[in-house]
Every structure is written in structure tokens, then in C-alpha cells.
Amino acid sequence: MTSGPDTMEARVLDAAKVCCERWGLAKVTVDDIAAEAEISRATLYRLFPGGKDVLFEALRVQELEDFFNRLLEAIGSTDKPRHSEEPWCDADALTALKARREAYIPEDNSFRKVPVFDGHALHFGQRIEGPAIIEQVTTSVVLSGSFDAIVDRFGSFVLYRKGRDDLVACVLQAQHKELA
């Protein structure tokens, strides 16, 4: 067994961790740590000049490194989920209409009844003309009168200014690929 500085330092850090878990950070002394590591107090100060503060800083850094290494290990071993891709839907978005509701329309500076769509019932390629509201369990999208939306292949809503189909060209091109 080697007893070089790295091994001795690791032994002291392990001892400090054990002592902190046993008595708490505020009550642990340098003598407690030296006794747990089975080294002299002088050796501990030689390894950690500055004593308890330097030792605890080294322990904090080691614990953070261990935590992030375990986290990276866990994340790295998990497959990233693929987003499901929907086929193009030619159905009218009105199939997802749930109701009409009063909403403030900034362009009109007034309230008026607007269609309310079930966002979960909308599919790839369906368009919603503003003003409208798209509701989902965890969110709502409010389209003002200046914007429309289209559903992309992942079920996300792409908002764009009325008359600017060029802004959603990639979604519209997907329709041609699906139908080809």
C-alpha cells in the first residue's frame, strides 16, 4: 500500500467527511479528523496549510466534483427520448374547436369572441387563424389578430405574422414531402 501525499490527502478528506457526518460541521475539530485518519495533527497541517478552513474547502470541492460526476454518469447512461413525428393532416383545424370566448384583441383595442382550440387535438399541418386561443393542459397560446399559427411535425405551434407564409416555409415544404 502506498502512502504518498495523494493517498494521505484522500484519507484525510474521507476522515473529515466521516467526522462531519458523525458530529456536524460546526463541532468537528482538526484533532477529530487527524484521529479518524490515523495521522498526526502536524501531518494534517502539512497537507492542508491553513488548517480546518482549507481542509473543508478541499472537501467541499471534492464533494461537488463527486456530485457532478455522478450526475453526468446518470445523464450519460440515459437515452434521450425521440420526439414523435406526426404525419401531415389535411383536416380543417375547426375539428379541434372547443368553444368561443371573449378575449382582448390589442389591434381592435376591445374584447370580442374568438375561437378556442383544443391544442392536443391539433395535428401537423393544421393552421389556426388569429385571433384565437389554443389551450393545452399546461399552457395556452393567445394569437392576436396579426398572427396565425401552424402545427409543425412535432406538435409545436409555430406563430407567424399574417401573410408571411415564407416564415413557415419549412413546415409547408414538409407537406410536399409527405404527399410525394
pLDDT reading at 1 higher than 50: no
Helices (H) and strands (E) in the chain, counts: 5, 7
For residue 6, what pLDDT is reported?
67
Among the listed residues 114, 91, 111, 110, the one whose alpha carbon sits nearest the alpha carbon of residue 101: 114
Last residue of a domain, one of 50, 76, 102: 76
State the alpha helices, DSSP H only, in 77-152: none
Tell me: do 101 and 164 sit in the same domain.
Answer: yes
Question: How many other CB atoms are there within 10 angstroms of residue 96's CB atom?
Answer: 21
Tell me: do 119 and 70 sit in the same domain.
Answer: no
- 115 or 167, higher pLDDT: 115
Residue 34 covered by a domain: yes
For residue 68, what pLDDT is reported?
87
Tell me: do 99 and 175 sit in the same domain.
Answer: yes
pLDDT reading at 4 higher than 60: no
- Please give the residue range of the domain that contains residue 149: 93-179
**What's the whole-model pTM score?**
0.52
| 136 HSE (CA, 13 A, CB side) | 11
Residue 113 covered by a domain: yes
For residue 25, what pLDDT is reported?
86
Tell me: do 60 and 128 sit in the same domain.
Answer: no
Residue 83 covered by a domain: no
Last residue of a domain, one of 19, 46, 76: 76
For residue 166, what pLDDT is reported?
83
For residue 115, what pLDDT is reported?
96
DSSP helix/strand/coil, 132: strand
Q: Which tens digit of pLDDT belongs to each residue from 66-111? A: 998 888 877 776 666 677 788 888 889 999 999 999 999 888 899 9
Residue 82 covered by a domain: no
Tell me: do 99 and 70 sit in the same domain.
Answer: no
Tell me: do 72 and 97 sit in the same domain.
Answer: no
Integer Cα distance of 119 and 52 in angstroms: 58
Among the listed residues 100, 95, 137, 136, the one whose alpha carbon sits nearest the alpha carbon of residue 115: 100
Question: The domain spanning residue 24 has which CATH number?
Answer: 1.10.357.10
Tell me: do 136 and 65 sit in the same domain.
Answer: no
Integer Cα distance of 164 and 75 in angstroms: 40
Total domains present in the chain: 2
Residue 87 covered by a domain: no
Q: Which tens digit of pLDDT belongs to each residue from 14-31? A: 999 999 999 998 899 999
Q: Which tens digit of pLDDT belongs to each residue from 111-155? A: 999 999 999 999 998 999 999 999 999 989 999 999 999 998 888
Integer Cα distance of 98 and 117 in angstroms: 5
pLDDT band of residue 176 (cuts 50, 70, 90) is: low
Residue 88 covered by a domain: no
